[in-house]
Amino acid sequence: MGLPLSKYVWFDGKFVTLDNAKVPITTHAIHYGTSIFEGIRAYWNGKNLHVFRLDEHVKRFRKSGQFYNISLNFSDKEITDAIIAICKKNKIKKSCYIRPFYFVGDYGINLHVTNKAPTSVAIFSFPFGDLFNKNGITAGVVSWRKFSDNSTPPQAKMGGNYLNSIIATQEAKNNGYDEAVLLDHNGNVSEAPGENIFIVRNGQLITPPLSSSALEGITRDAIIKVGRDLDMEVFEREVTRSELTMSDEIFLTGTAAEITPIIAMDGKKIGNGKPGNITKKMMSEYQDIVMFQNEDYSHWLTPVY
């Protein structure tokens, strides 16, 4: 499925048209998944385009490559400026998704990747609305487990890591669900293929810890902060599989998913089968924040124009 990409992309420090952004078939990342990426949202509120938590995304962007000694040969400021500039260059005045990524280039078939390996950086963007139905989706636990620190760093947003997400999504779709939920190697809840997960029980907001191989998600962090600012009890702790269907509410968080309610888990209705009150509150708070309607969190937004 093709993406409605904007005309210009940022490629190794220059603006080029999409048809001129090409790499050779010997690119290392194509063969071994040695690519690092971020997903970033920018929101148009009728007056300006605001990038959500840009600094945090750029910092994680660099850190992901450091796990594998893969160099990002541009400063954080250069990447930040390029993300803003690609929106301006394409004259984007609607909510969009921005994808910066860097990857090991023409490096042969050598598996000994060092910080001397050639890398390239690219940034593209495209208009983007809802990833999932905001009235709620179905989900199911799949048989595949989320990889752990014993094998691959879960905190690195690497292209190769997401094969785990792809096979989990395939199983969930084949089972008739909208989305998958993966367990960690201890059998506790980890996350969804591209999202963190929260449950609500007895008014408490609970999300799996990083030790359950959950990504330290930027939207996850935002919801934890917002929940505590609202004087909610928020806990990062292990969540057993059985707690999913016992929950009063469940929702996913992520850049693409934003806040997405899960209304049925493993074929069982969650709550009354509709988004719960706390989920709806978080959805409303998030929308106000990204649309520049909550001054308390205005520092999370970077204006483009």
The catalytic site residues sit at 157
Q: Are 65 and 72 in contact (CB under 8 A)?
A: yes
What 8-state DSSP symbol labels residue 64? H
- The beta-strand segments (E) located in 128-233 are 137-145, 179-183, 189-191, 196-201, 204-207
d(CA 69, CA 118): 12
What 8-state DSSP symbol labels residue 188? B
Q: Which two tokens stand for residue 179?
A: 């989305």
d(CA 96, CA 44): 8
Q: Which two tokens stand for residue 139?
A: 């989900």
Instruction: Please spell the DSSP secondary structure of 146-175, one letter per residue.
Output: PP-TTTS-TTS-BTGGGHHHHHHHHHHHHT
